[in-house]
Amino acid sequence: MFEFYVGLVALCLSLLTMAYISILAIQFSLIKHKNTERAYDYHRLQTVIILFFHLVAYTVLLYHYGFEYKVIMIYLGQIGLILLSGHIVNHYMNKTILPLWSIGQFLLVISFILLGRLSINLGLKQFYLACLAYLVVFGVVYLYSRLNFIKYLGVPSVILAILMLVMTNETINGATNWMRIGSFTFQPSEIVKILYIVFLASTLTQFHEHEKLSLFVTGTITLGMVIIQVYQRDLGSALIFYSVFILMSYVYTRNRLYIIGGTIMTMLGGFFAYRFFWHVRVRIDTWIDPFSDIDHTGYQITQSLFAIGNGGLFGRGLTLGLPNRIPVVTTDFIYSAIVEELGLVIGLGIIIVIVYFFLFGMQMIEKSRNDFNFLMGSGILIIIAVQSFLIIGGVTKAIPLTGVTLPFVSYGGSSLVSTFIMLGILQGIKMNEDRHLKKEILRKNEKLIEQMLLDEENCEA
């Protein structure tokens, strides 16, 4: 009986996901045709779908945990967070990039459900971390929209970034990319990503007259950071920085040679790394044939594929799979757990939603008149897309596995906070631009009135 209900829930969740994506598609075309107000009318419906999704899934979890008091409180808390954050966004954020906030919320709810299912304590912690992330993000939005000197902070941020990278002192899952202060650990690379984007956008806009020189300087520093990360065996972050730099230099110079050169460099670098770093070679060999060493190097990816293969169209059903047997399931491999229990439809849904995040973000960034904001926004969108691609592709054996987190979904404070900061910066960019636009219009109007007054005086005279 319970299994039948879970099956129904799985079907229902898949349908809700499809409905949610349809709304995104409608919104996208409406905004494209400059019908922004109508697009935003759908926002309420989106929130209703998200809440319904959350509710349906939590009925299963409630039953699974025997209607424990704690689970009920977590559920109510999460609803509170969804409603409150939605309210703040709606009323204090100039109704600007609502689809982006909604996508963040949708992915966060999937994260709440999956982590709550894996372990209720993880669900609770992720909830606290999400509260923290929202607090931080509203601060970021406020600051970014008002402070105009961020574009001069390139040098301090890169110094801070390198310091944070070098000061990592904790090895978790083979990579030395954690920092421990007392009992508190976090992943500096998550924050370093943002500092790096600030540095890149700032340097490239400040020195746009010396295009080649500024690219040379930023390129050298990027290379240094990539080497540090390869050394720390954080190949995922290294790849992110590398590809972000290539793509950003293309955005900046509009010269296709950078993409071509970057691709050639990737091949050479990959070949070099394959030859000389055994841990790179192991990853690539494992990617090509994980089943030949299923006990050892191939263990993670094959366990992930078993879970994915077990999913089917609508999943095994929430709580009916064995996602706890997937290694590192709460962070890197959370996507495999989603496909196993919630199914292919939701798995593909997540991919589509992430693509929409990029599309909506670009719709907004395109209109930016400030080059620094433009580069910041592009960088953030590229980072989120590349990072999602690396981890989803990695756990599904489309590309060699590199351990990075899935934005908005993976467990962990560093990841969640940094993803939300990026979302906040996108919102901040929009508000910052709007303020400048408003000022300009005001100034124009003032000038017009002055002119009129002058004309009147002349007339009288």
Partner 1 sequence: MNLRKRLEERNKPLKRIRTLIVIMFFILGLNIIYYVVFQSDNLVVNDYNPRLKAIESSVIRGDIVDRNGHILATSKIQDHQQMRMYPYESLFSHVIGYMGYGKTGIEAYSYLDLIRTKENLWDKFMKGFTNDLPIGHTVVTTLDLELQQLGRTLLGNNKGAIVAIEPNTGRILAMISTPDFDPNMISNNYSTYLKDEASATLLNRGTQGLYPPGSTFKILTALAYLQNREADNFIYECLGKDTFGGKTIHCYNSAVHGEVTLEEAFSLSCNTSFAHIGEQLDIDQLHRLVEMFGYNQKIELELETSNSRYGIKDHMSASERAETVIGQGKTLVTPLSNAIMVSILANDGHLIRPYLVSQVVATDESIVREHKSVDAGRVISKEHVDLIESFMKKTSEEGTAKQLNNSQYTVASKTGSAENATGVAHAWYVGYAPIEEPKIALAIVIENVGTGSTHAVPIAKALLEAYLIEK
| Site for partner 1, residues 178 to 217, rule: CB under 8 A | none
For residues 262 and 251, give the distance between their C-alpha atoms in angstroms, rounded to a whole number: 13
Is residue 34 part of the contact set for partner 1 (CB under 8 A)?
Answer: no
Q: Which of 28, 62, 393, 436 binds partner 1 (CB under 8 A)?
A: 393
Is residue 11 part of the contact set for partner 1 (CB under 8 A)?
Answer: yes
Nearer to partner 1, 86 or 236 (CB): 236
Least separation in angstroms between residue 106's CB and partner 1 is: 17
- Residues 319-358: x/- map of binding to partner 1 (CB under 8 A)? --xx--x-------------x----x--xx--xx-xx--x
Nearest alpha carbon to residue 205 among 253, 166, 237: 253
Q: Give the total of residues touching partner 1 (CB under 8 A).
A: 51
**From the centroid of its chain, how far is CA 149?**
25
Number of helical (H) and strand (E) elements in the chain, helices listed first: 17, 3
Are 376 and 201 in contact by the 8 Å Cβ rule? The answer is yes
Nearer to partner 1, 77 or 270 (CB): 270
Is residue 359 part of the contact set for partner 1 (CB under 8 A)?
Answer: yes
Q: Which of 374, 408, 411, 420 binds partner 1 (CB under 8 A)?
A: 374
SS3 content of the chain, % helix, strand, coil (to 5): 80, 5, 20
Is residue 21 part of the contact set for partner 1 (CB under 8 A)?
Answer: no
Nearest alpha carbon to residue 57 among 8, 23, 100: 8
For residues 413 and 185, give the distance between their C-alpha atoms in angstroms, rounded to a whole number: 9
Least separation in angstroms between residue 357's CB and partner 1 is: 11
Residue at 185: amino acid letter: T
Residue at 191: amino acid letter: I
Is residue 367 part of the contact set for partner 1 (CB under 8 A)?
Answer: yes
Is residue 314 part of the contact set for partner 1 (CB under 8 A)?
Answer: yes
| Site for partner 1, residues 418 to 437, rule: CB under 8 A | none
**From the centroid of its chain, how far is CA 71?**
27
Parallel/antiparallel/unpaired status of strands 170-172 and 175-181: antiparallel
Which residues pair with residue 175 across a beta bridge? Answer: 172
Nearer to partner 1, 126 or 410 (CB): 410
**How many CB atoms lie under 10 A from the CB of residue 211?**
14
The token pair at 156 is 């301090």
Judged by the rule CB under 8 A, the positions of this chain that interact with partner 1 are 7, 10-11, 247, 250-251, 254, 291, 294-295, 302-303, 305-314, 321-322, 325, 339, 344, 347-348, 351-352, 354-355, 358-359, 362, 365-367, 369, 371, 374, 378, 382, 385, 389, 392-393, 396-398
